[in-house]
């Protein structure tokens, strides 16, 4: 059975909540680092999230793929932007990275799919 990125990110979020409760200073520091690193500058937030996704793919981190794909969708990433980023990942990381690029596509499709039971126009 394939993994669900929605389930995966939910489960990791719960575990991160435990870490926030038990090592709050460390987690606050990490969150401050993430906020500063992703703040718009010479690169926009979308571009920075694409870089973060690429590193998550290259590092073979399922949770990173899930979180960064969700963030990219919120930022309005196009499928073409995602695919070009994954193409660079495959070029730089070879076969194993290509397999995780495919996982990023699955995450994108899962998080982009219309919600079950959502109202659809007739």
Count CB neighbours of 85 within 10 A.
20
The per-residue pLDDT for range 29-43, each reduced to its tens digit, is 999 999 999 999 999
Lowest mean pLDDT among 2-6, 70-74, 98-102, 116-120: 116-120
Nearest CA-CA partner of 67 in 19, 28, 20, 10:
10
The per-residue pLDDT for range 107-116, each reduced to its tens digit, is 999 999 886 5
- 21 exposed, middle or buried (CB, 10 Å; 0-12, 13-18, 19+)? exposed
In sequence order, what DSSP letters do the residues of 89-104 get, joined into one string? HHHHHHHHHHHHHHHH
pLDDT of 117 > 50? The answer is: no
Please tell me the pTM assigned to this model: 0.84
pLDDT band at 122 (very low <50, low <70, confident <90, very high): very low
pLDDT of 121 > 50? The answer is: no
Full set of structural domains in the chain with CATH = 5-111 (1.20.1290.10)
pLDDT of 13 > 70? The answer is: yes
Could you give the angle at the alpha carbon of 33 between the alpha carbons of 100 and 92, nearest 5°? 30
Average model confidence (pLDDT) for the chain?
91
Check residues 70 and 116 and name the one with the higher pLDDT: 70
């Amino acid at each position: 059975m394939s993994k669900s990125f929605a389930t995966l990110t939910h489960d990791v979020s719960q575990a991160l909540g435990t870490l926030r409760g038990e090592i709050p200073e460390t987690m606050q520091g990490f969150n401050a680092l993430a906020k500063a690193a992703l703040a718009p500058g010479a690169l926009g937030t979308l571009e920075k999230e694409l870089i973060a996704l690429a590193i998550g793919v290259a590092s073979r981190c399922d949770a990173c793929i899930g979180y960064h794909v969700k963030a990219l969708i919120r930022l309005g990433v196009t499928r073409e932007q995602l695919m070009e980023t994954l193409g660079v990942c495959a070029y730089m990381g070879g076969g194993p990275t290509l397999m995780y690029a495919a996982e990023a596509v699955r995450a994108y499709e899962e998080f982009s799919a219309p919600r079950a039971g959502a109202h659809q126009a007739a």
